[in-house]
Amino acid sequence: MRAEDLKNYGKGLLNAVPDPEALKRQKQTGEIIREELQRELGHGGYHELMSRMKVDVERMKHHDWSVLRKRGLNNHGFVEGVIRRMALVKCLADMVGMDRASEIQCKLLEKTIYESMAPMWPTVEDYYACGDFFKAFSQYTRVAMMENERAGLHVVEMAEDSPTALAFNVKYCVWHEVARAFGNPYLCYPSTCYGDEVTIPKVLGKAGPQYCFKRKGTLAQGARLCDFRYEVIS
């Protein structure tokens, strides 16, 4: 097998094709999130959160998003999904404070993000079937990031592309841009960035102890860029 033959090769977050299992898991994820939020906030608190979110989502749908269009992002459904992510954390923080909201949202990602996203992408076994896990994984990841950049989701600079490391820096991110429009760039971290720190180590951990993911900071946390570094540990 070649890396080019893997599921959704060459596609990014905008055009990856979900299979029936992915759609099923995404529906289950919605139920898990609803149950967890009701557990945290109570029945009344959950409905207050949903009411607040509805107001903020409608407000931000009418925001001037020309900055996104200038970068080539014209998919209104995708942008609305990003808005909903930020609105959830923002409204949750309005109710329980940012520290607690961040804690709740990160816990939700730990419970849902890997399981809901995994069917969209190759398995560890798929990468190994290409002969060299890290070579196939790096090629697949690099091409996906290039597609995300083409679609206007990111601006990326490569830092290293070698047999033992793939490293790139994200200097612009649509999730961070939307969080800024909400008035708080940090909203991006618990809603989105933390998901990288859940899913990527799980994938590499399944591949073996010789692979690791490293990150120094994110735009959402005030860093100059979001750094991604995948390594083979000798």
Of all residues in the chain, the percent with pLDDT exceeding 90 is 87
The mean pLDDT of 126-154, rounded to a whole number, is 96
pTM, whole model, 2 decimals? 0.92
Residue-level pLDDT at 214: 95
Residue 80 predicted with pLDDT over 90: yes
**Residue 145 CA: distances (Å) to CA of 32, 72, 110, 153:** 29, 15, 23, 9
71 pLDDT band (50/70/90 cuts)?
very high
176: exposed, middle or buried (C-beta count within 10 Å: 0-12, 13-18, 19+)? buried
What are residue 170's DSSP bridge partners? 156, 226
Predicted confidence band of residue 153 (pLDDT cuts 50, 70, 90): very high
Give me the torsion for CA of 94, 58, 188, 47, rounded to 10°: 40
Q: Above pLDDT 70, what percent of the chain?
A: 100
What's the rounded Cα separation, in Å, for the pair 51 and 125? Answer: 44
Three-state SS at 153: coil
- Confidence class for position 165, pLDDT limits 50, 70, 90: very high
The predicted model gives 210-234 an average pLDDT of 95
